[in-house]
Amino acid sequence: MKCKETGEEKCIVFCLSGHGHFDMSSYDAYFEGNLTDYAYPEEKIREALKELPDIKENR
């Protein structure tokens, strides 16, 4: 509305990805304060990292 009042042109960029069911309900849960702040256990992270392929980079 401010741009309309001042005559300034701006572009608002919004990226919506996925099918929307999870995405939008997650935003709702976040803004309503319904998400739990959860620290993923370090041991689980280490276990998951072991499953990744070993990739050698040539630089």
Tens of pLDDT along the chain (59 residues) come to 888 899 999 888 887 766 666 677 888 888 999 998 889 999 999 999 999 998 887 65
In degrees rounded to 5, what are phi and psi of residue 53? -70, 150
Q: What is the pLDDT of residue 45?
A: 96
Spatial CB neighbours of 29, under 8 Å, sequence gap ≥ 6: 35
Q: pTM of the full predicted structure? A: 0.39
What's the confidence (pLDDT) of residue 31?
92
Q: Output the CA torsion 26→29→30→36 (10° steps).
A: -100
Instruction: Write the CA distances from 29 to 24, 39, 45, integer angstroms.
Output: 9, 18, 25
User: What are the domain boundaries of the chain?
Assistant: 2-51
pLDDT at residue 59 in the model: 58
